[in-house]
Amino acid sequence: MASWPAHSFLLLLCLVLLAGTATPQTAPPLSVDAADRWARPGCQPKCGNVSIPYPFGIYSDSDCFRPGFEINCTSDGTPYLGLDCNIEVMDIQLLKGTLVVNHYIAKDCNYQNGSHPHTDSWINITGLPNYKFSHERNSFVAIGCDALGYISSDRESTFWTGCLSYCTDASSVPNDTCSGIGCCTAPIPMDLSDFSLLVTSFYNHSDSSFAPCSYAFLADESKFNFNLSSFTEYQNKEKAPVTLDWTIADQTCEEANGTDDFACVSPNSRCLNSNNGPGYLCNCSEGFQGNPYLNDSNGCLDINECSADPSPCVKRCHNTEGRYSCSCPWYMYGDGQRDGSGCTSILRILYLSLGVGLSLFFLIAIGSWLYWIYKKRKLGELKQHFFEKNGGSLRPDIRLFSSEELEAASDNYNQSRILGEGGFGTVYRGVLPDRNVIAIKKAKISNDEAEVQQFINEVEVLSRINHRNVVKLLGCCLESQVPMLVYEFVPNGTLAHHVHGEGHRGSLSLEARLRIASEVAGSLSYLHSAASTPVIHRDVKTTNILLDHDLTAKVSDFGASRLVPLDQNGLVSLVRGTFGYLDPEYFQTGEFTDKSDVYSFGVVLVELLTGKKPVAKTQAVKNLATLFIDCVNSGRLVEILEERVVDEGAPELLEAVTELAMRCLSLKSNDRPSMREVAMELEALIRWRIHPWGNVNVEEGDSLLAKVGSSSPSVLRDYVNSSVEPMVPFEIVR
């Protein structure tokens, strides 16, 4: 057998594929006589010039119509509804659910010969329950220059309405308007199946040549047009067209669907409830056309929209069952719809897009460059503004960090880097590129100039101080919206954390407490008397005392501190400080001195001895300083001291430290020792603890006692004779 050529095989394959592809059965194009094909097969499709689509049918064959839709076709080709009805059918509109019929006109005429014909009309279609007069398309009409027309119905509920038309002469009658001058109208109700007509006149119009009669009838508004000739036009007419609504049965779609008598039998058909009384109609679904009451080739078939002229698509049309789609060739774009964007050549738009794109590119590039220059300039101006606002004019002799450096060091101020938060700012842990760890204090964003002044003041104070027990200021950033300070990183938290923190109570030995107190006192003594310009801290408290890895104290937070000129003993300002640490005299007078720091230090010392917070939560006394003084004066010191302090401290040592604390807490500032005296006494007590009386010579002991203030075990004896109120002697009981 000879082998087939390759192209012949491909051609055969295409033919097989095409033969096996099912295409939807489409309806032929809808024409004027399309309804002629909608009668049942083998049934008479017309009566005279009127098409008879199913469910209507000629009465002679019972299989050609649905019961209730019989058409009586007379020998002269005139169709009538039913057998005994004299209603002539003019047109059947299947898909609209309407049909046009002729019905009688009521007349009242006055002729010059003296005759006065008067006709009342009555029409009844109650024998055909599927039909109602359309209240949407019909209106009651009365015509005449003195016409009073009535329409009424007595079935079920009484209906009666009418209208009056009037005119004086032909010149007063407007054309194309039925508004009461020569012609009037009235609406009719829904569900109207029979009615009576009556028209009458008040005057004799026999001398009127243009309007001798008055008329009343029901008219289809789309087929009725009133003008001057209407007065004589209806003299020789007995009937006028009116539109009926028809429905299937008296059920709704929901009630009829699924029953054996359901009329919507064609696939792709849908059911619609009537809007004029009970009943339903059938229609084809969108994209289909035909007779929805037939289940054959004349039923609802797919509309081939692509065969329409013109086609709905400008290039390619693809018909599918119930719908269609448009597409463009590969070298074009768009939706392909004739009434949409159509199809546009890609090459045309390509050239246009290229030109527009290049223009936009250059505009964007130039605009971006100019915007970058503008933003850089504005950023520089903003940084300079912040620099001057945040105290840049002071030119402190410390390193100035950029805002970008600190953002990178703190991982953009990540929440996980927060070391602590206060009323004026947040402290973050930062790591510089050289791996050095720093602490960054960032002010809270605020428009309060006082808060900014706190930071400026801290820079000014710390830039003048260099002491091992004062936290070291490494630099600052003044070019951001809020100023930022950079400190050495103190890794062991605050003294308050070690004294009061959960799980840390009692963790510090008495030796460590005395050493920390001595270091704090030494730093405050340096600030008060050894610095180039004396500094009053004004906020001494355990949360402002940091501890490094060796528990070495570092005094911090100098935002409220003030530089004191050498020729001034005290300054007056608004009261600043923390409740529980605040000097009572400063609180009352508003004048702060170095003795204000002494009082606050006394509270810190009491915290170290008792382990209690500065605000004690007891019913009797809430202030720790007051509670401590009360316990000392009443001989109950041991009750308030922390257990470890009592266990590790000799009675003489505890009495001496207690006496020192009491002196610091004196209500009068003049009765308080200076911080230099406090530092010296604490240093002496530490040395005494290391070298007790039994282990040192008399000379050394005498020198120590001179510093402590007594050579007897009771170091409070001198305090009894001091200016403060006398204290009740006490005894440390183990």
Q: What are φ and ψ of residue 612, in 5° steps?
A: -100, 160
- Burial class of residue 288 (count of CB atoms within 10 Å of its CB; 0-12, 13-18, 19+): buried
Residues 605 and 662: their CA atoms lie apart, in Å, by: 10
Residues 148 and 97: their CA atoms lie apart, in Å, by: 33
Strand duo 484-488 + 473-477: pairing: antiparallel
3-state secondary structure of 422: coil
Classify the C-alpha dihedral 707-708-712-716 as positive or negative: positive
- Give the catalytic positions in this structure: 539
DSSP string, 260-313: TT-S--STTEEEEE-SSSS-EEEEEPTTEES-TT--STTSSEEE-GGGSSS-SB
Strand duo 323-327 + 418-421: pairing: unpaired
Secondary structure element (H or E) that encloses residue 240, with its range: strand 239-246
Contact 497, 544 (CB under 8 A): no
Contacts of 251 by beta carbon, 8 Å cutoff, 6+ apart: 278, 279, 280
DSSP 543: G
3-state class percentages of the chain: helix first, strand second, coil last, to nearest 5: 30, 25, 45
**CA-based nearest residue to 644, from 691, 688, 606, 609:** 609
**CA-based nearest residue to 553, from 504, 515, 525:** 515
Secondary structure element (H or E) that encloses residue 198, with its range: strand 194-200
Which amino acid, residue 594? Answer: D
CA atoms within 13 A on the CB side of 159: 19
CA distances for 463 relative to 91, 386, 441, 544, 690, angstroms: 107, 20, 16, 18, 36
